[in-house]
Amino acid sequence: MDKIRDVLLLQKRELEHFSQKHYVPRDIELSGLHNDIIKVIIGPRRAGKSFFAIHELKKSGNFGYVNFDDEGLLKVENYNDIIENINHLYNNPKSLLLDEIQNLAGWELFVNRLQRQGYNLIITGSNSNLLSRELATHLTGRHISTVVFPFSFKEYLRYFDRDSTSSEIKIRLNDYLHKGGFPEPLVKDIPHKEYLKTLHDAIVFKDILKRHNLRSPRPMGDLSTYLISNSGSLVSYRKLASMIGLKSAHTINKYLGFFEEVFLFFQLRAFFAKYKKQVRSNKKVYTIDNGLINAAAFNLIENMGPLYENAVAVELKRRELNGELECFYYNTKQGYEVDFVIKKGLEITQLIQVCYNVEKQNTKNREVRALLHASVELKCNRLTVITADHENIEDSEWQGIKGKIEFVPLWKWLLH
């Protein structure tokens, strides 16, 4: 009991320290804060879930805090001891913030019981699949989820706390594309590469290898390094298995699932009218934050194109998880690839290409022909090319197919 109290007392002091830090407002809303529905906040490690939750809870007064990413709490057998200490340290709070709840064995039963006892609960976790699976099974109809990613570019600019000129924004964009949006390196002004490399290794070796009892770390580490170094590329499970030295494509599929669970990577499916074809098609894999690419990729030559495409993919994934859209890639009948197909409801609403430099005519033609062919096949007239600097709306034509194409700089698109 005393050990639990000591752990929670240290966490309370950390909470007080948190509360004094400069807070960057997020473009996220925590729904249902004042009712009895369970609030679930999920997202990558160190993306700012706790800080966001603490800031929101401060608006409603007194609350209790427990961080289960602490080995001192994971060996507790009687969970009532935790609640008794919380009530004592925080003066019987009605609201509780339970941080990294997935680390607690039988957490869903514990959370259910606390809700029945009348607590207003906010829980966070860095494991999307675990939380969604357990919530669907045990908390059906009584929870609502909020996703917190690292800073978007809009939030990143907000940290500097003043309006910026377009030239300043472009400089910030270059920093953002290389350093990413994880809050801590920015706020504390610490070396981002070392921080993010350490974070990457913690996710792979602690959140995946240890949790899933995988014996050999090498295949998982090699796979992660390859995917980060080739972010945005099409992947074949069979080819990946052969390259990493694993026996089957099924194992690769399982490992990719582990990566998605902890928000390290996400996969993009090809768009087909039939769902079966979407599932069976090769996927494109993106990294959850550009900073991880710069910190952990094995690259000898810098290439801005993949950084641009990954930043767009992450922003679209953020909007997809917020329920605004569905996102796919697409191959035309002629084999031309469109980077992103945006679907809202039953309608394809936008086709997007990402091209860092469209000054070369051959490069521009490649992007235009893919969009125009896809516009006919998918019956979509809103065509966009996201660029470094080029901005215009142009009447385009390719092999008799005509259409208007909007060229927009990445910084403007990210701030839209």
**Structural domain contains residue 78:** yes
**Structural domain contains residue 333:** yes
Determine the pLDDT at residue 134: 59
**404 and 375 in a common domain:** yes
DSSP string, 309-342: HHHHHHHHHHHHHTTS-EEEEEE-TTS-EEEEEE
**227 and 295 in a common domain:** yes
**125 and 160 in a common domain:** no
**Structural domain contains residue 99:** yes
DSSP 3-state of 86: helix
- The answer to whether the beta carbons of residues 269 and 263 sit under 8 Å apart is no
Determine the pLDDT at residue 373: 97
What is the rounded distance in angstroms from the CA atom of residue 210 to the CA atom of residue 251? 17
Amino acid at 297: A
- Beta-bridge partners for 146: 41
**Structural domain contains residue 117:** yes
**198 and 127 in a common domain:** no
**122 and 163 in a common domain:** no
**389 and 295 in a common domain:** no
Side-chain half-sphere exposure of 414, counting CA atoms within 13 A = 28
Residues lower than pLDDT 50 in the chain: none
Q: How many domains does the chain have?
A: 3
Task: Identify the helix (H) or strand (E) that includes residue 188.
Answer: helix 183-188
- The answer to whether the beta carbons of residues 360 and 331 sit under 8 Å apart is no
**Structural domain contains residue 310:** no
Determine the pLDDT at residue 140: 56
Its domain, for residue 109, covers 2-147
Percentage of residues in the chain with pLDDT exceeding 90?
A: 67
**188 and 75 in a common domain:** no
Boundary (domain end) residue, out of 147, 180, 208: 147
Determine the pLDDT at residue 260: 93
**Structural domain contains residue 159:** yes
pTM given for the model: 0.92
DSSP 3-state of 139: coil
Tokens of 184: 């801590």
**158 and 101 in a common domain:** no
**Structural domain contains residue 119:** yes
**105 and 7 in a common domain:** yes
